[in-house]
Amino acid sequence: MNITEIDQQRKYILLKIFFGLSLLVDIFLIILFLYLKFFDLLFVKSFMFCVFIMNFLLLEKKKYLLSLQIGVAAIVVSATIDTFFLGWKSYFSLYLIASTIIVINSMNLGLNWKKFEVTFILILFGLSFIFTNNGYSIYRVDSKLLEWVGLFNLMAVILSILFLSFLNFTESDKLKKKIEEISEIDPLTGAYNRRFFNKYLDIQIRQLESQIKYGNSREVNLGIVMIDIDDFKKVNDTYGHLVGDTVLAEVAHIIKAIIFERDIFCRYGGEEFVVLFTNTSKPGAMITIEKILRTIEKRELTINNNSKFHVTVSAGFASLDGESNIYRILDIADKRLYVAKKTGKNKVVSE
């Protein structure tokens, strides 16, 4: 899932809940107006109900901006009519204020549209106050009932705004974390990218410095293996880059399936991978690396014309062994990988 898809999903969730809350309020008001026999307002609320049902259908078609505009317009028109029919004390005008907040916080609307819509809604709010604050209303309603209607609208608006604000905050936070995660993950292989790996190495260096300071660095089991696909250029030249991508993804899948979850797996370069063993002894790491090499060697790969072929990888391994500089260990592993390449490939060099 890419960043655009995540943001689309976020919009879908927020708008779906917004329309859901609006439907709940409408259902209550439909029942109330039916009881009071306010058939004009009953018609308005029934129309609103249909509009929000339609908006759910628009959401399924990913028409986020259109559904938002229709939803806000319906709320504004309905709230204005309700205010003129029942008066200022019914607090239906508060839905106009809620609409401005929704418009302002919308990620779908441009700045000019936001200015226009907020200005228009606030003008309606001002007109409703001027004409209905003096007690004017088309329907005459019992003052006690009007107070209860006003209290319901007040609570509905406040709770809806608070809930949507909280949800928007949490969804934005999730989006931010997902973007950070995507920026650290190689999309083809699912491994961490070099940017994340270097950042993680810096963290490990600080931890090592602390352990050395307090004299317990010998307790650290840390090693690095650099793995490179043998003759990868030949694979690309022979079968094409799409097959090359398949090979990269398959090799990465095998490595991830074999190493421990605590180990850090990175795509370091084009066809080069790195695994940081964070709590594994040298013998344990060597067993794991040999398993990776033999599994990849045996894996049969198939291309579009059903041709089958195999690939191998070479590896260079280095562990702490008294060396406190992780970047120095990485350099040693890289040099040993070079030796493995020059002395036959499909092997690991650790000395």
pLDDT at 80: 92
Is the pLDDT at 38 greater than 60? The verdict is yes
Is the pLDDT at 175 greater than 80? The verdict is no
Q: In this predicted structure, which of 47-51, 122-126, 236-240 has the lowest mean pLDDT?
A: 236-240
Give Dmax (Cα) for the chain: 96
pLDDT at 65: 84
CA distances to 38, 83, 154, 216 from 133, rounded to whole Å, are 21, 10, 16, 76
Q: Which residue has the higher pLDDT, 264 or 174?
A: 264
Distance between CA 263 and CA 94 in Å, rounded?
55
SS3 category, 260: coil
* Structure-derived torsion over alpha carbons of residues 330, 334, 336, 341, reported in degrees to the nearest 10: 160
Strand bridging mode 264-267 / 272-277? antiparallel
pLDDT at 298: 92
Question: Partners of 272 in the beta sheet?
Answer: 228
User: How does residue 14 score in pLDDT terms, banded at 50, 70 and 90?
Assistant: confident
Is the pLDDT at 214 greater than 80? The verdict is no
pLDDT at 177: 66
pLDDT digit string (tens) for 301-325?
887 767 788 899 999 999 876 556 7
How do the domains of the chain map onto residue ranges? 3-183, 194-349
Distance between CA 276 and CA 267 in Å, rounded?
12
Is the pLDDT at 273 greater than 90? The verdict is yes
Strand bridging mode 313-319 / 348-349? parallel
**How much is the pTM?**
0.53
User: How does residue 172 score in pLDDT terms, banded at 50, 70 and 90?
Assistant: low
**171 and 10 Cβ atoms separated by less than 8 Å:** yes
pLDDT at 107: 62
pLDDT at 219: 53
Burial grade of 161 (CB within 10 A; 0-12, 13-18, 19 or more): middle
Segment 167-196 shows an average pLDDT of 74
Closest CA to 22 of 57, 72, 69: 72
Nearest 5 degrees, angle CA 192-CA 197-CA 201? 150
Architecture of domain 194-349: 2-Layer Sandwich (3.30)
pLDDT digit string (tens) for 144-165?
888 899 999 999 999 888 887 7
Is the pLDDT at 71 greater than 70? The verdict is yes
